[in-house]
Amino acid sequence: MNALGIDIGGTAVKAALLGADGRVQLGASKAYSRPDRDSLHAAIAQAVGRLEASPADVVGLCVPGRRSRDGRCVELAVNAPGLEGEPFEHIVLRAVGRAVPFGVFGDAEAATADAAMDHPDRQRVLGIAVGTGIGVSLLVDGAPAGLAGSGVGHLGQIDVGPMEPDHPAGLVGPDGGRDSAEAYLGVPALQRRFGADFADRLADMPADDPAIRTLVRLIRIGLAVYTPDLVLVLGGIGLALAPRAQAIDQAVRQDLTRVAPAGWRLAFGTCRHHAARGAARLAATAAKAQVLESNF
Q: Sheet of 124-130: strands edge to edge?
A: 143-144, 134-140, 124-130, 230-234, 265-268
Q: What's the CA gap between 261 and 255, in Å, rounded? A: 14
Choose among 218, 70, 249, 92: nearest CA to 152.
218
- Whether residue 228 lies inside any domain: the answer is yes
pLDDT digits (tens, 9 = 90+) for 89-145: 999 999 999 999 999 998 899 999 999 999 999 999 999 999 988 999 999 998 888
> Is residue 194 located within the same domain as residue 179?
yes
The amino acid at residue 57 is D
% the chain with pLDDT above 90: 67
> Is residue 118 located within the same domain as residue 219?
yes
Question: What is the residue range of 147's domain?
Answer: 110-268
> Is residue 199 located within the same domain as residue 212?
yes
Q: What's the CA gap between 296 and 286, in Å, rounded? A: 12
pTM of this prediction exceeds 0.75: yes
% the chain with pLDDT above 70: 96
> Is residue 140 located within the same domain as residue 41?
no
Write down the pLDDT at residue 269: 96
pLDDT digits (tens, 9 = 90+) for 195-251: 988 988 999 999 999 999 999 999 999 999 999 999 999 999 999 999 999 999 999
The HSE-up count of residue 181 (CA atoms within 13 Å, CB side) is: 24
What average pLDDT does the segment 4-12 reach? 93
CATH of the domain at 238: 3.30.420.40
Write down the pLDDT at residue 153: 78
- Whether residue 117 lies inside any domain: the answer is yes
What average pLDDT does the segment 60-69 reach? 88
Write down the pLDDT at residue 163: 82
Q: How confident is the model at residue 294 (pLDDT cuts 50, 70, 90)?
A: very low
> Is residue 76 located within the same domain as residue 150?
no
Write down the pLDDT at residue 144: 84
